[in-house]
Chain A
Amino acid sequence: MDLSGLKDKLSYVRKVNDNIAIGALTTPEDLAETFLHKDKKYLGFYDIYKKFASPILKPLATIGGNIGVAVSASDYLTFLLTLNAKVKLVSVEGERLVSLEELVVEKRTLAKDPNELIYEIIFPELPENYSTAFMKIDRREVIVTGYITTAVCLKIENNKIADVRIAFDRVNKRIPSRAKKTEEFLKGKEFSVDIIREAYNKVLPAEMVRKSDFRASGEYRLDLSKVLMKRTLLQAKSRIVEGV
């Protein structure tokens, strides 16, 4: 599907009511020009940008395509799950809004009609004491899938974890998803490394199934998920509390 003719029309980041809408043909390079890369609440976008493919892809890849391919290496997809994003689908029959989580059902499989177009991605604006982070680690720094990736959206109130959403490239399916049990465990607790440790040692392994392939073992991937979960949470917290 060549949508490049619609490029100008579908490349935007807008605030609509209390939501933020990103046009499906917006590229990482386009995002970099917007407030999403500056507002400390949304720095997860900046984190992805830094690790996304390489400079020669950033003006070409689209966020709609990133969801469209629907693979565990779709970094925006992973991150948008923590923002409770919805997707506006458009076809000749009309348009509808579905949650991203429901749209992406399996690897390379979207719960939509082939003639439905991803038009835009919408997510609620984050209130002040929220922030986000994304991390990816691999043998080299860029042009990598990542052994694993982790995205978080965190709300801190009086050093309490008032709200938290954690997504990984994979939890127990071959697509990005949320680690909801781990989130539940953390919610309402005092923010500390100890509590994060407890969450990733006791709860996360119960909901995460990591597979081995030629690049890494399941054991390493699970342990790395713990490390990046800790680091993204610390990063998000620092962004909320320290502003960096």
Chain B
Amino acid sequence: MALPTAEYVKIVEELFEKVKKFTYVGKHMQRWDAIEKILGKTRFTADYANLYRNLVYVYSVRAKYAHAKIRKIDVSEAEKVSGVLKVITHKDVPGVNDVGYVIPDQPLLAYSKVRYIGDIVALIVAEDPYIAEEAGEKVYVDYEPLPVIIDPLEIVDPITLEEKKHVLIHDERESDIVARYRIRTGDVKKGFDQASVIVENEYRTQYAEHAYMEPEAALAIPEPDGGITIIASTQCPYEARRAISKVLGMPFNKVRVVVPPLGGGFGGKEDVANEIGAKAALATLLTGRPAIAVHTREESIIGHSKRHPAIMWYKHGASRDGKLVAVEARIILDTGAYASLGPFVAWRATVHSVGPYKVPNAKVDTVAVYTNGIYAGAFRGFGNPQIHFAIEQQMDLLAEELDIDPVEFRLKNILRNGDRTVHGQLLDHGVGLEGALVKAAKIANWYRKRAEYAKQTGTIRKGIGAALLWHGNSIGAEGADYSAVSIIINRDGSVTFRTGLTDFGQGAIQGLIMLAAEILGVPPEYFRVEMPDTASVPDAGPTVASRTTAMGGNATLVAAYKLRKKLNEVAADMLKCSPDDIEIKAPEVYCRSDPARKIRWIDLIEECFWKGISLQEYGYYRAPKARWDDETGHGEPYFTYTFGAIIAEVVVDMETGKTYVERMVTAYDIGRVVNRVGAELHAEGGAIQGLGYALMEEIVHSPEGKVWNPNLYAYYIPTILDIPKEIIPIFVEAGYIRGPFGAKGLGEPSINGIAPAIANAIANAVGVRIKSLPMTPEKVYLELKRKGLIKL
């Protein structure tokens, strides 16, 4: 944990206090990799196939049932197919046959039973991908089908949250409850007694799919010493190395993971990357040849983690003057066949479960359960899109009951500097929520439009809705929260940047370069970002939880600061002035008090070389320790929170029920904007992904646990014709002392508030409230019909 006295903490705090003017930070800048990508030269994982000869192809034979005992696996026929080199089953796994993320509950190759339709029973390794697939049909598995459970309410009672009697999915664990969390603050009974209005509702959200454009891929290469190198499309190289080493039974230092740019991740390329990496590595280990595994789109959809479906029951109470007095909630998350990151998702959902408000009395119970659906894990927002969908509609309903404008009602209850969260955490500074909401309302013309839309007639109507959000930064009490980078200034003055944080499109690495450039005084063009590779980059923790800019940024500041200190000292010696007087503006270095006294950057570097001053620095940062009391849900779960306000404007066709989102204003308090382009793209991209989540996306299982829509044709993600005319990103910079120059994360929060803002806008437009996602044309129409608001 970060001791307040640790050098790295002091560096970050000192820079936050001192530096207020920036050359690169906050400016619009081109990403370091934009040119290679625009030329189509960037190699994504599957593209490496062109660089290796003698490749073998790995095909996964998946379950025929979503829940069944395996009596026997017969691969003899498959092995006979010409061109097949090896058929791998659980018996061939040299190490531990498990790829579970948080809990060791997920075999890489199923042996005693299958628990969902994506479970893998065998791997075919063949000379040609088409042959491999063909041989897959010849693997015979003798199954004993078991009852399939798709509805989490068959696992738990919705009122008591107790486990029901059912055929266990994880009999080895003796329970299908994965995790439970709770919050107990104040006395909800008393709270509700004081309430003059109470609203109580059930909300549901769906299974959702990342649908990154690049399906998962991994390529394994045998090394002369018996080790294996795996090129993999993963967000977390060190985590993948841990998982693959475990399967292979090899020490970490013989397993090398290299991570090319990813064609999207959004949280999805964590567990499945371990799985596909392990599959390729096993094939290489057992055949001695380079092996490639690439998932088809269908495999990708069926075989990787999803966003948890949620069933949420919420009861909110407010006083006549519009103050929240109590919140009670029960949240059931369906984590599918395996835990994946389910326990952490459930925890994050619990932490945020009352929204960014002052709540004196709260009682929240969350439970995550297994079913026979596709396993659910990390997906941008990590439990928060679900609970915000419920909370923010509850807030609108309270405002309606109280006859207060929804923005005004929120302003009466939001967290501000000096307030305590529901967990008792004091937020003494860095809370920019009010600014975000006020600005968003102004730019969206909130009050005027609310008044205008109240007067509509006809069957095409407009509506405007707001939602607030918050999002704890980094991984909080989930685990060891550290990050690291190394910066090397080469003898020619160019800079090498290394970190185990990965880029899956989000562009956060660009932010790190801008931070380093700011401190060192060299332009970002001097930098080359090396590909994440466990053979060279430092372990920076996982690239998840909106932590790259904040955590990686701090590590970057530390490394750059240490380098800068050395550079200043050597330059001062050369220029005969004080180190504090040194200004670096590469290619020049001069004394601030006398700019005529100057040297070249390259000469400064050369001098360091001859003086024996090492210009290779490592920066490490460990977050302040998170605290969480399991009994009460009190403590400091995250060191800081990103806040935001979303305003969405919609047009609803009442005869078809179809909603079109015309415009969105998204205002985020991210402490300090580092990579401005990246921040804007997140505001836009998160809004568009949120729009898909709100209106169209849903993975649907059949009662037998098959997936009805494992493709991009019936799993609808927005096309360019479905998106708003305009998305207006606004940033508030409230500054958090332990973020790089005050910065917080935006990767995930950018989706949290979209669906509820759209839901509230639909309610404003046509007077019906859709309490389950996605808010399809059908749901809107049938609700209008039921209420007699539309008659054909």
Residues of chain A at the chain B interface (Cβ within 8 Å): 54, 137-145, 147, 197, 200-201, 214-217, 219-220, 223-224, 226-227
Contact = CB atoms under 8 A, between A and B. Distances in A.
B700 A142 contact: no
6 contacts: A137-B656, A139-B658, A214-B708, A215-B714, A217-B782, A220-B657
B65 interface: no
B721 A140 contact: yes
A137 B777 contact: yes
Nearest to B785: A223
B712 to A, nearest CB: 8
Given A201-B792, A215-B714, A219-B782, A139 B655 contact: no
B493 interface: no
B781 A223 contact: yes
B722 A141 contact: yes
A214 B657 CA distance: 17
A147 B778 contact: yes
Contacts of A215: 714
A219 B712 CA distance: 26
Nearest to A219: B782
Contacts of A139: 658, 695-696, 716, 774, 776-777
Contacts of B579: none
Interface centre among A139, A140, A141 (most CB of B within 10 A): A139
Contact of A227 (B656, B695, B700): B656
A118 to B, nearest CB: 25
B656 A224 contact: yes
A227 B791 CA distance: 11
Interface in B635-690: 655-658
Contacts of B696: 139-140
A147 B777 contact: yes
B709 A226 contact: no
Interface string B685-712: 0000000000110001010000011001
A236 B782 CA distance: 28
Given A54-B719, A147-B778, 6 more contacts: A139-B776, A140-B721, A142-B721, A216-B778, A223-B785, A224-B656
B651 to A, nearest CB: 14
Nearest to B712: A143
Contact of A214 (B700, B721, B782, B785): B700
Given A139-B696, A141-B722, A220-B781, A227 B792 contact: yes
A141 B778 contact: no
Q: 8 smallest A-B Cβ distances: which pairs?
A: A141-B721, A139-B696, A220-B778, A214-B708, A214-B700, A227-B655, A140-B716, A140-B722
A141 B792 contact: no
Contacts of B777: 137, 139, 147, 220
Given A139-B777, A141-B721, A214-B708, A197 B782 contact: no
B719 A141 contact: yes
Nearest to B778: A220
A42 B601 CA distance: 71
Given A139-B776, A139-B777, A147-B778, A226 B792 contact: yes
B718 interface: yes
B713 interface: yes
Nearest to B781: A220
B145 to A, nearest CB: 22
B700 to A, nearest CB: 4
Nearest to A226: B792
Interface centre among A140, A147, A197, A201 (most CB of B within 10 A): A140
A145 B708 CA distance: 14
Interface in B166-213: none
Interface centre among A197, A215, A226 (most CB of B within 10 A): A215
Contacts of B700: 214
Contact of A142 (B714, B717, B719, B781): B719
A219 B792 CA distance: 13
Interface string B516-535: 00000000000000000000
A135 to B, nearest CB: 10
Contact of A143 (B713, B776, B785): B713
Given A137-B777, A227-B655, A227-B792, A214 B709 contact: yes
Nearest to A231: B655
A217 B717 CA distance: 21
Contacts of A223: 781, 785, 792
A202 to B, nearest CB: 12
Contact of B719 (A140, A145, A216, A226): A140
Nearest to A215: B714
Interface centre among A141, A216, A219 (most CB of B within 10 A): A141
Contacts of B778: 147, 216-217, 220
Contacts of A201: 792
A220 B656 CA distance: 9
Nearest to A227: B655
Given A137-B656, A141-B722, A142-B721, A220 B782 contact: yes
A212 to B, nearest CB: 10
Interface string B767-792: 00000001011100110010000001
A217 B658 CA distance: 15
B719 to A, nearest CB: 6
B324 to A, nearest CB: 35
Nearest to A221: B778
B722 A197 contact: no
B73 to A, nearest CB: 31
A227 B718 CA distance: 24
Nearest to B774: A139
Contacts of A200: 792
A137 to B, nearest CB: 6
Nearest to B714: A215
A23 B729 CA distance: 51
Interface centre among A138, A145, A201, A216 (most CB of B within 10 A): A138
A216 B657 CA distance: 12
Nearest to B655: A227
A217 B398 CA distance: 32
Nearest to A200: B792
Nearest to A197: B792
A192 to B, nearest CB: 15
A197 B791 CA distance: 10
A172 B712 CA distance: 28
A103 B221 CA distance: 56
A139 B709 CA distance: 14
A140 B721 CA distance: 8
A137 B776 CA distance: 12
B480 to A, nearest CB: 42
A138 B696 CA distance: 9
Interface string B705-740: 000110011101111011000000000000000000
Contacts of B658: 137, 139
Nearest to A144: B716
A44 B716 CA distance: 25
Nearest to A217: B778
A201 B695 CA distance: 29
B713 A140 contact: no
Contact of A140 (B718, B781, B785, B792): B718
Nearest to B790: A223
Nearest to A53: B713
Interface centre among B702, B781, B792 (most CB of A within 10 A): B792
A201 B791 CA distance: 11
Nearest to B695: A139
Contacts of A197: 792
A159 B785 CA distance: 31
Contacts of A226: 792
B445 to A, nearest CB: 27
B724 to A, nearest CB: 13
Contacts of A220: 657, 777-778, 781-782
Contacts of B702: 214
A214 B777 CA distance: 14
A169 to B, nearest CB: 15
B209 to A, nearest CB: 14
Interface centre among A200, A226, A227 (most CB of B within 10 A): A227
